[in-house]
Amino acid sequence: MIFSRIFRRQISFPSSLSPTIYALSTAPGRAALGVIRLSGPQSKLILQRLTRSRKEPQPRKASLQRLYAPTVSSTGSPSEILDDALTIYFPGPRSYTGEDTVELHVHGGRAVINAVLRSIPAYAEHSPDDHEGCRPSVRHAEPGEFTMRAFSNSRLDLTQVEGVGGMIDAETEAQRVAAVSSAGGHMRRMYNRWQASLLDIAALMAAVIDFSEEGYFENDDVNEDGLFLEAKDSVDQLLTDVRAHVDQIERSEIVLSGVKLALLGPPNAGKSSLLNALARRDAAIVSSQPGTTRDVVELGLELGGYRVVLADTAGLRPTTSADEIEAQGILRAREKSAEADVLVVVVPAVVEVPEWHDVVRDAVHSALARETPVVVAVNKCDLLKTDENKIEEIVQRYAVELSVPSANVFAISCRKSLGFASFTQHLSATFTNLSNLGSDPPVGASQRTKEILSRETVPALERFIEAANRDDVVQASEEVRYAADCLGRVTGESMNVEDVLGVVFSKFCVGK
């Protein structure tokens, strides 16, 4: 498979002219270890000078060595020891950046790290052109520059670059799985496979247009109609695959960006207590006085491997019984429940004043009409003194009253931490069903990738089908090449006319 690297060649430069870059790759601050990374043509030289070693470092082998400062005493021997560090040398192109790379695993004290960082440029070989206004031979790396060099040197494509960023930012298991898939090259291989298929189809179109009338096909079974039919079948299957992939990206977005979960219910039902229990900290004020929560309280957390944006809202009751501020809070509670991906209705197991029943029931029915999943948490079950028959009776009553399946109603106690295992397991299963991914992992594609696929690639393939149905070979050829170019922009690899001709001449005897 041949892909051009025009874009990459434009942003890269010869390795001999590349400045060597260095930076701390671990988070700054007090830690046991700090990893300093170097990349560029002088990496090995700087390592040898830091360690005062004349031996060639062994590739990809960790070695414990002493690092020395670039100062010397009057006797000519090193006067300062920086640290005893674990050093690893990765010769290019088999390194993360594609260049000679060095990693220094030093102790994590700020003074140690700063001393090593100061010493690196002092050990570099400076050319006569190293002056103000020219590119220095060794400099501190800019944000993301190591990964940018990996992309420039074809070690990573754009989907892998985005996956690396996703792994750094991952806060939940679902985000980690999606990022690992992208960074590991799974999506790159799939997009490259699709682009290779389009390259073959473009070659078929070129053969149909340019060579069918010349009688250059050796096999009589291979003719213009047969080639065009083969191309149409291939594009039709590819269009199905791309549409399914775009759909999977859209279904994954809710998992990766965060499930919006709203807590709704009457005053003093224990919504804030449930929020604190799920967050495992006192994030909201809890009081026995009804109406403590007047505004929406939001926080992000991980629940069952999913990122969740949890919102605690004001208690619902008739606004005729509320003051002006509480009435505004009730309005905001309704608005937040309308935005929620999942609605958790918190109701008390012991009901003294049922004035809120109609209000809560109407809010639940509105959510069900929007097809929003509703889970009911019957709180304060500890007040029933573990009367299982009574608890089951209350669960069934709420299921009927709120028109929710009894499997979605759970008896819990925030004060005693009862019933939380089955409740949170059901929430996790609800999140999975909401994304409808089944056994498929979430796809960590960026918005850029989604838009190129959905707004450009899919329409181009659809236009190919339309042109093919009209037997418009020229238009079909243009559309399939455009679709291939769109996939190239997803990965950062573009297809040009030489790629098409290469396949044409390799598969057909057109030059005999």
Q: For the chain, which domains are there? A: 6-155 (3.30.1360.120), 186-254+445-507 (1.20.120.430), 257-435 (3.40.50.300)
Dump pLDDT digits (tens) for 232-280.
888 999 999 999 889 888 877 777 777 888 888 888 788 888 888 887 7
Structure tokens given for 332? 């905001």
Residue 139: DSSP 8-state:
E
Residue 457: DSSP 8-state:
I
Share of the chain above pLDDT 90, in %: 20
| Residue 242 CB coordination number (10 Å) | 22
Question: From residue 49, how far is each of 35, 76, 114, 115 by CA, in Å?
Answer: 18, 14, 17, 15
On average, the pLDDT of the chain sits at 78
Confidence band for 57, pLDDT divided at 50, 70 and 90:
very high
Pairing mode, strands 81-90 and 20-24: unpaired
| Structure confidence at residue 88 (pLDDT) | 96
Q: Could you tell me which residues are beta bridge partners of residue 312?
A: 263, 297
Residue type present at position 93: P
More confident residue, 222 or 246: 246
Give Cα 488 distance to the centre of its chain.
Answer: 20
| Structure confidence at residue 240 (pLDDT) | 92
Query: Which letter, b or e, does each residue of 320-340 get, where b requires 16 or more Cβ atoms within 10 Å of its Cβ?
Result: eebeeebbebbebbbebbeeb
Dump pLDDT digits (tens) for 92-123.
899 999 999 999 999 999 999 999 999 999 98
Structure tokens given for 430? 């609800």
Pairing mode, strands 81-90 and 63-68: antiparallel
Confidence band for 314, pLDDT divided at 50, 70 and 90:
confident
Residue type present at position 89: Y
Alpha helices in 108-215 (DSSP H): 110-122, 145-152, 158-169, 173-183, 186-210
Confidence band for 386, pLDDT divided at 50, 70 and 90:
low
Dump pLDDT digits (tens) for 169-196.
777 777 787 777 777 778 888 998 998 8
pTM over 0.75, yes/no: no
Structure tokens given for 456? 């450009």
More confident residue, 207 or 448: 448
pLDDT(501) > 50? no
pLDDT(136) > 70? no
| Structure confidence at residue 14 (pLDDT) | 45
Give Cα 402 distance to the centre of its chain.
Answer: 37
d(CA 43, CA 237): 48
